[in-house]
Chains A and B, each alone.
Chain A
Amino acid sequence: MFRTCDITGLKVDLRAERLIQLNAVMAVVSLLIGVIAALLLVLTRWQVVHLLPAEWYYRVLTLHGLNALIFWIVFFEIAGLYFGSTVVLNSRMSSPKFGWLALTLMVLGFLLVNYTILTGNADVLMTSYAPLQAHSLYYLGVILFAVGALVGVFLFFANLLIARKERTYGDSLPLFTFGLVAAAIIATLTLATGAVIYIPTLLWSLGIIKTMDAGVYKLVWWGLGHSSQQINVTAMIAIWYLGAFLTVGGTSINEKVSRLAFVFYVIGINVASAHHLLVDPGPSPAWKVFNTSYVMYIAVLASMIHAFAVPSAVESAQRRRGFTKGLFDWLKNAPWGNPAFSAVFLSIIIFGFIGGVTGVVNGMEQTNIIVHNTLSIPGHFKGTVVGGTTLAFMGATYYLIPLIFRKKIAFFGLAKLQPWVFGGGISLLAVSMYILGAFGVPRRHYDITFSGGPFTYTFNPATDFFWVLFAIGGIVTVIGALMWILIVVFSVFFGQSVRGPQDMQLQIASPPPPAKEHHGFEAPGTLTLTLLFMGVFLIFLLLNWGWLAAMWEVR
């Protein structure tokens, strides 16, 4: 039932390993669909090419959202949860049977959703806002997928209980698994909210329930929609800590702080969705201000804590190895040839500087007026979910391939380049989308020349330039993603087997020497970087508020 890993010395439950592999494969399949869809979308929105006809644009946009944002990430997370609760803890899978059940349900849901979309029965985009209606099988597919994922999450908790009872690890959970626990708690709440909204919607599509209130639907839907993004953020940050540890032996300067920040995520989630409703007619201003500020306090603060804790873990380890010259010697001498390291580091930078900064403007009651439903919104989450989460997951895979699939990484030279291509492309794409949105360009919109409408409107000519950057950014991102898929598929199916530590292309860092007593700062380089971040953040906020003040008056 077990093998002992000759590289890490950990016990690996073969039944868990198989489930991790299959979920990871499904994740890659989903990403591939999402990426192909992305290319078609970029070439359609860029008016110079304007590839797809209108109905296929909205169809492919629905396809892209569900595969790239839901299926890819959730399949990967389930694989991660099994990994974090069995391999990392030296423990066994509680119930492989239920693991197979979870996988079957999820695959069934995946197939139903993709089938209904591609046959034109679910042109409802990812949010499927009622009273916009899809075929019942679409909602059924979403429910099956969510129930499957929920079974997977419960298995994770069951695995933890077994590991605890059989005392397979020390007194406290490793930080990585602790982070996954936070993600799993959020996932449970989120998936439950999903049931609350999708089950009545299914009944409504079957004609059993007569009406769906648009406001109530949107409120509950975002209880699912945004919190599900917090699962991704939490899982991503768990991977940041894992990455710092594997690549340079970095550990939090103070684990108490890192763990507390994870707890903040769990507390701050339930109402985090409020910022999707800031310009809705339903909720009152007091409700909006309270809920978004609650998130400001707790979720944003937690993110800022992690944004310090992860790089400072790297810095502190590097300093203990002797890279102490100046502020950034530690960073210069980091293992940049290790794609997992560069992926994690780029993920931190992109998530913070692009996703984080823009997220706060989107999340403040008044400044939301500027960005709501413009291209800035997908620009923001290209920074968080794609440049942040997806890139971190890609980085983690470079360890997953040799350790779980027992294969060498094919095209290792290409792999070193891949995080840079993908991260560079997505940064360009996210920033240009955010700027286009600032010029008022709407999201989810087929034709910005409004052909066929009663009037035409021409956006600021500066947008032409940013559309070119958008197209370049989009294409480079797609290339970066395809590089990764090529490397992964080739390694797993045709790659050379790993026979022992000598075949390990990535280093697993040994712990750095213990710290010498010293006065002053633990991580001055990281402090400088985070202060720089704060400066950028405040300037960006100021610009947005100044701009808001110049608009028509409204109350």
Chain B
Amino acid sequence: MALLPPEEGWYFKRVAKDEKMWIAIALVVCLALFFWMIVWHVYGKQNPSFTTYRTTPQEFNALTQAFIQKYKIGEEKGIPVVEPPPNSDVFLLGKMWAWEPILVLKKGQEYRFHISSLDLLHGFSLQPVNMNFMVFPGYDYVLTFRPTSTGEFYIVCNEFCGIGHHMMIGKIIVKE
């Protein structure tokens, strides 16, 4: 009785059989979903957010430049191409409106990505695998990736970061 006060004794009216059934089913599904998220942390291989450190744009930029110096193998369109060894720390920098450097990785190997921004928020969107993470200035987001497919991959920025946002695209090459 949406517009009128409820009828006398409404509080003590028994819940209908189908209502009870439905609520029970819905509750079980909700609980199952909750436990599934935890189970995935144990058995699943895709979980966001592992470790995060506080940093500053200056510090992170310095770390990235040192990383580029160490493993640089060439340049493409003025962007350094870097091939780090498996199991190493990889630095990826987002800034208006570019990703730096271009990475060359090996399939099946683990890499500890450190991702941060020099200025605004950016979005790390890896295509075509379609994995999406946020990139913050001041936060060193550490994600351990293991590429499971080879080819050329692109990092599309998918968080608005000013008028040139749609030109912000980076590259990762995965070799056998």
A523 touches B16 (CB 8 A): yes
In the assembled complex, the CB of A84 is this many whole angstroms from the nearest CB of chain B, namely 10
Residues of B close to A312: CB separation below 8 A: 16, 18-19
A214 touches B139 (CB 8 A): yes
Given A282-B139, A293-B33, A370-B132, answer yes or no on A170-B159 (Cβ-Cβ < 8 Å).
no
Residues of B close to A551: CB separation below 8 A: 46, 129-131, 148
A172 touches B158 (CB 8 A): no
- Interface 0/1 of B130-160, CB less than 8 Å to A: 1111111111110111111100001011111
Residues of B in contact, count (CB < 8 Å)? 90
Range, interface on chain A: 35 or more
A-B contact pairs, 26 of them (CB 8 A): A129-B120, A218-B136, A254-B16, A278-B48, A279-B49, A282-B139, A289-B41, A301-B26, A308-B18, A365-B40, A365-B47, A370-B130, A372-B133, A373-B158, A373-B159, A440-B128, A444-B165, A453-B166, A454-B79, A521-B16, A523-B18, A524-B18, A548-B44, A551-B131, A555-B50, A555-B143
A552 at the interface (CB under 8 A from B): yes
Find B46's partner among A374, A531, A554 (CB 8 Å cutoff).
Answer: A554
A452 at the interface (CB under 8 A from B): yes
Given A175-B1, A279-B134, answer yes or no on A254-B15 (Cβ-Cβ < 8 Å).
yes
- Interface 0/1 of B1-37, CB less than 8 Å to A: 1111110001101111111011101110111011011
A308 touches B22 (CB 8 A): yes
Q: With A and B bound together, what is the CA distance between A284 and B142 in angstroms?
A: 12
Given A256-B13, A305-B26, A555-B144, answer yes or no on A172-B18 (Cβ-Cβ < 8 Å).
no
Given A254-B15, A526-B18, answer yes or no on A442-B163 (Cβ-Cβ < 8 Å).
no
Quick one: which of A244, A301, A452, A455 has the most chain B CB within 10 A? A455
In the assembled complex, the CB of B117 is this many whole angstroms from the nearest CB of chain A, namely 8
A530 touches B22 (CB 8 A): yes
Q: With A and B bound together, what is the CA distance between A443 and B165 in angstroms?
A: 11
Name the residue on A nearest B31 (C-beta): A297
Residues of B close to A174: CB separation below 8 A: 1-6
Residues of A close to B136: CB separation below 8 A: 214-215, 218, 280-282
Given A452-B164, A522-B19, answer yes or no on A460-B128 (Cβ-Cβ < 8 Å).
yes
B149 touches A454 (CB 8 A): no
Ordered nearest first, which 6 A-B pairs have the shortest CB separation? A170-B5, A442-B158, A281-B141, A293-B34, A453-B167, A245-B2
B30 touches A300 (CB 8 A): yes
In the assembled complex, the CB of B44 is this many whole angstroms from the nearest CB of chain A, namely 6
B37 touches A214 (CB 8 A): no
A467 at the interface (CB under 8 A from B): no
Name the residue on B nearest A129 (C-beta): B121
In the assembled complex, the CB of B64 is this many whole angstroms from the nearest CB of chain A, namely 16
A296 touches B19 (CB 8 A): no
Residues on A facing B (Cβ under 8 Å):
54-55, 58, 88, 123, 125, 129, 131-132, 169-176, 213-215, 218, 238, 241-242, 244-246, 251-257, 278-285, 288-289, 292-293, 296-297, 300-301, 304-305, 308-309, 312, 360, 364-366, 368-374, 438-440, 442-448, 450-457, 459-460, 520-524, 526-527, 530-531, 534, 537-538, 541, 545, 548-549, 551-555
Residues of B close to A278: CB separation below 8 A: 48
Name the residue on A nearest B41 (C-beta): A285
In the assembled complex, the CB of B102 is this many whole angstroms from the nearest CB of chain A, namely 9
Find A374's partner among B22, B79, B129, B132 (CB 8 Å cutoff).
Answer: B132
B161 at the interface (CB under 8 A from A): yes
B168 at the interface (CB under 8 A from A): yes
Q: With A and B bound together, what is the CA distance between A300 and B31 in angstroms?
A: 11
Residues of B close to A304: CB separation below 8 A: 22-23, 26
B95 at the interface (CB under 8 A from A): no
A256 touches B11 (CB 8 A): yes
In the assembled complex, the CB of A542 is this many whole angstroms from the nearest CB of chain B, namely 11
In the assembled complex, the CB of B125 is this many whole angstroms from the nearest CB of chain A, namely 6
B33 touches A364 (CB 8 A): yes
B126 at the interface (CB under 8 A from A): yes
Quick one: which of A125, A297, A524 has the most chain B CB within 10 A? A297
In the assembled complex, the CB of B140 is this many whole angstroms from the nearest CB of chain A, namely 8
B15 touches A256 (CB 8 A): yes
List 6 additional contacts besides A256-B11, A366-B40, A450-B169; criterion CB under 8 Å. A131-B120, A214-B120, A366-B37, A374-B158, A554-B131, A554-B143
B132 touches A279 (CB 8 A): yes
Find A552's partner among B6, B31, B126 (CB 8 Å cutoff).
Answer: B126
Residues of A close to B14: CB separation below 8 A: 254
B49 touches A284 (CB 8 A): yes
Question: Which residues of B from 30 to 73 have beta carbons under 8 Å from A?
Answer: 30-31, 33-34, 36-38, 40-41, 44-50, 52
B123 at the interface (CB under 8 A from A): yes
B49 touches A281 (CB 8 A): yes
A131 touches B2 (CB 8 A): no
Q: With A and B bound together, what is the CA distance between A24 and B80 in angstroms?
A: 57
A254 touches B125 (CB 8 A): no
Q: With A and B bound together, what is the CA distance between A457 and B11 in angstroms?
A: 60
B45 touches A553 (CB 8 A): yes
Name the residue on B nearest A527 (C-beta): B18
Residues of A close to B38: CB separation below 8 A: 289
Q: With A and B bound together, what is the CA distance between A251 and B137 in angstroms?
A: 53
Given A171-B5, A245-B2, answer yes or no on A534-B156 (Cβ-Cβ < 8 Å).
no
